[in-house]
Amino acid sequence: MLACPVPGELGSPQVPSCSTGLCRAHLKKSDFHYDLPEALIAQAPLPERSASRLLVLPAGDAAFADRHVRDLPELLRAGDLLVFNDTRVLPARLFGRKTSGGRVEILIERLLGGHDARAQLGASKPSRAGTRIVLDAGGEAVVRGRDGEFYELRFDTREPLEKWLLHAGQMPLPPYIHRAPGADDGERYQTVFARELGAVAAPTAGLHFDDALLDALRTRGVEFGHITLHVGAGTFQSMRTENVHEHVMHSEWLNVGPQLVAQIAQTRAQGGRVIAVGTTVVRALESAMVQGDDGQRVLRPFAGETRIFIFPGYRIAAVDALLTNFHLPESTLLMLVSAFAGRERVLAAYRHAVAGKYRFFSYGDAMLVFPQGSPA
């Protein structure tokens, strides 16, 4: 059993320190359950990105407020810093057939360089090393080996794999969207600021921003910064253990650059707030926190892998507010939001959203969350 949210030495780039009180509590996955009618799971985006509804959770115990994402310029202040994840989603889903027979669905998890990739395979039987898959889009893939639930594949394509996927792959819509991806998803399942190719799922809080909203925020005096965290397919995996402390997170690659570290320091020095656009930003920034000479956690540039797992008992120090979509029941992302604003308050907000018929998950509505006991 883990005594803290993640294993390893406290203060390392991947494993920042936590407050200890609730870390030792026996939190259960079922402690983060809520009832969600399937009809509230958004199956397509709204025509206008910033038209999504926004449930505001003010600091402390103030009442929730029902707003819209386009109201953000009114809710933020000059000098605040919005931090976005600029990852770009790969068209990572492919289909084919084993030469021995049997259909296969391939979901690429990560490009490994050259023509190699790590992927999940959906097939009636496990695939052994040497298995050849004839791809519907042309070319072949060969299974080179397996590591847990992931397979390493080598693709035989005429173009570099990254370039070939852009016209051969399908946009990997989440499993709770029960339709095939359409032409519009190629644009709408990307943020307007996406630039670093490598994710297999969108940083969905960023999907609400369009050019008009970004311009309005700039006019308001809000600053922008960026991290990169390539969201992996593990983000959709359900937690297999009832005991939260026994869960091991999937690994994702991130980059927190020196420019952003300087921006955050300047924002804080001038009295502004750091606002994460999405849980991926929180995970990236918390992974880049280290213990300083005075014993306090400080942000430093960091590029590499993280398995950070944030749940109640962990003290999030990198951000002052969080803009996030609604997350699946009993998910690690719901646990992260609960660590930030309190489990009971967050679950009460979810009940409010269900009663108010908010739209849920990737193409759904959003929340603006402030931590309990903090100034708004």
Beta-ladder partners of 55:
66, 367
For 314-349, write each residue's pLDDT tens digit. Answer: 999 999 999 999 999 999 999 999 999 999 999 999
**Into which CATH architecture does domain 93-159 fall?**
Beta Barrel (2.40)
Across the range 245-259, mean pLDDT stands at: 94
Token pair of 271, please?
């009295």
Q: Quick one: which of 312, 315, 299, 256 has its CA closest to 280?
A: 256
Find the mean pLDDT for residues 168-184: 95
Report the alpha-carbon distance of residue 359 to residue 6 in Å, rounded.
32
Contact 111, 218 (CB under 8 A): no
How far is 239 from 41, CA to CA, in rounded Å?
Answer: 20
Average pLDDT (64-86) is 98
How crowded is residue 47: how many other Cβ atoms within 10 Å of its Cβ? 8
Q: What is the DSSP letter of 357?
A: T
Q: Which neighbouring-strand residues pair with 85?
A: 227
Residue 373 has a pLDDT of 64
Q: What is the pLDDT of residues 35-44, one digit of tens each?
A: 999 999 999 9
Across 175-189, 235-249, 314-328, 359-373, least confident range: 235-249
Q: Tell me, what's the pLDDT at 233?
A: 79
Structure confidence by residue, pLDDT tens digits, 178-195: 999 998 999 999 999 999
Angstrom distance (rounded) from CA 200 to CA 235: 9
pLDDT digits (tens, 9 = 90+) for 109-156: 999 989 999 999 999 888 999 999 999 999 999 999 998 889 999 999
CATH number given to 22-89+189-369: 3.40.1780.10
**Residue-range domain boundaries for the chain:** 22-89+189-369, 93-159
The per-residue pLDDT for 375 is 47
* Contact call for residues 212 and 129 (beta carbons, < 8 A): no
Does the pLDDT of residue 205 top 70, yes or no? yes
CA-based radius of gyration for the chain: 21
pLDDT digits (tens, 9 = 90+) for 270-317: 999 999 999 999 999 999 999 888 888 999 999 999 999 999 999 999
Residue 19 Ramachandran class (φ > 0 left, ψ -120 to 50 alpha, else beta): beta
